[in-house]
Amino acid sequence: MSPITRVIYVISDLHLGGEAEPGKRGFRICTREGDLAAFISSLAGSQGPAVELVINGDVVDFLAERVSERSPYWSAFHYPEQRAMDRLDCIVKRSSLVFQALTGFLAKGNRLVVLPGNHDIELNLPAVRRRFREHVGAGAAADFEFITQGEAYRVGDVLIEHGNRVDEMNFVDY
């Protein structure tokens, strides 16, 4: 039997995004960002085999983001790319603990793989993907991979994919 070369953790549907209202959750799905950041940081500091973290879709939730700061309306898709990058920047600012944890995770030589889902399809836009990479500190030497266009991610005999690939109600035609 060969030794374990890496341990893989798969998490899904983080749904970072949406503004909280004073004393209420607002349109936010993820309300435990501190716990999430602590979990990611614990993976980064673990001893033993290398660690790979796969975020399997809906890491951020563009659907929870308003079209503009003055608008009460939401959009199914933020475009052009600059609008999507602006929304991503807002999400990262509000969820800074999680993004700091992801940056620390990569800085320790761990591997991060991100698959977009049906709530963050804007991550398939090249400029938005680049901005996300910047926000997690994924420079040229980082072990970071985006799986785009609704593709699945295969690790050995394991196939990882976000559920919208096979759900007619949430399927995205790239």
Q: Tell me the mean pLDDT per 10 residues along the chain, length 174.
A: 81 93 82 96 87 97 86 84 96 97 96 95 96 96 93 94 77 71
- What is the spatial distance between Cα 10 and Cα 56, in angstroms, rounded to a whole number? 7
For 66, which DSSP code? B
**7 burial type by CB count under 10 A (0-12 exposed, 13-18 middle, 19+ buried):** middle
Predicted confidence at residue 30, as pLDDT, reads 92
What are the C-alpha distances in Å from 144 to residues 31, 39, 102, 167?
A: 26, 19, 11, 27
- What is the spatial distance between Cα 87 and Cα 89, in angstroms, rounded to a whole number? 5
- What is the spatial distance between Cα 120 and Cα 2, in angstroms, rounded to a whole number? 38
Rounded to a whole number, what is the largest CA-CA distance in the chain? 60
pTM metric for this prediction:
0.92
- What is the spatial distance between Cα 61 and Cα 92, in angstroms, rounded to a whole number? 11
Predicted confidence at residue 2, as pLDDT, reads 64
Predicted confidence at residue 171, as pLDDT, reads 67
